[in-house]
Amino acid sequence: MAVDGTYDIEMQTQMGNMPGKLTLKTDGGSLSGNFSTQMGEQTFSGGTVSGDDLAWSISMSGQMGQIQLDFKAKVSGDEISGDVQMGSYGSATFKGTRA
């Protein structure tokens, strides 16, 4: 399954829905990319790809300080969905479509 590309996503958090843009690039089993939301933009590397299952982490600074976001996702055709652990702020779900 090809996961490379840019996705328009929406995270469903405890503080409401947060739109964003996610760009993914694979190299074998490695995943890198860029994640952009109203909180800012962060480039990442060191993620993993196994079939249509993805995992990556991002460290972002926001109004509430530094936060690590740990993503697990699945790509199906032009759709992506998954969960994100947001440190002490709990978890959220997200979904999106290829732009």
Residue type, 33: G
- At 13, is the pLDDT very low, low, confident or very high (cuts 50, 70, 90)? confident
The region, left, alpha or beta by phi > 0 then psi within -120 to 50, assigned to residue 29 is: alpha
Dihedral in degrees, nearest 10, Cα atoms 52, 53, 59, 63: 80
pLDDT at position 99 over 70: yes
Homologous superfamily of 5-98 in CATH?
Answer: Quinohemoprotein amine dehydrogenase alpha subunit, domain 2 (2.40.128.120)
| Beta-carbon count within 10 A of 9 CB | 22
The pLDDT assigned to 40 comes to 82
Instruction: Pick the more confident residue, 14 or 27.
Output: 27
Angle at 48 between CA 45 and CA 49, to 5 degrees: 130
Three-state DSSP at 86 gives coil
Q: CA nearest 37: which of 66, 8, 5, 14?
A: 8
The pLDDT assigned to 98 comes to 96
Report yes or no: 34 and 41 within 8 Å, Cβ to Cβ. Answer: yes
The percentage of residues in the chain with a pLDDT greater than 90, rounded to a whole number, is: 71
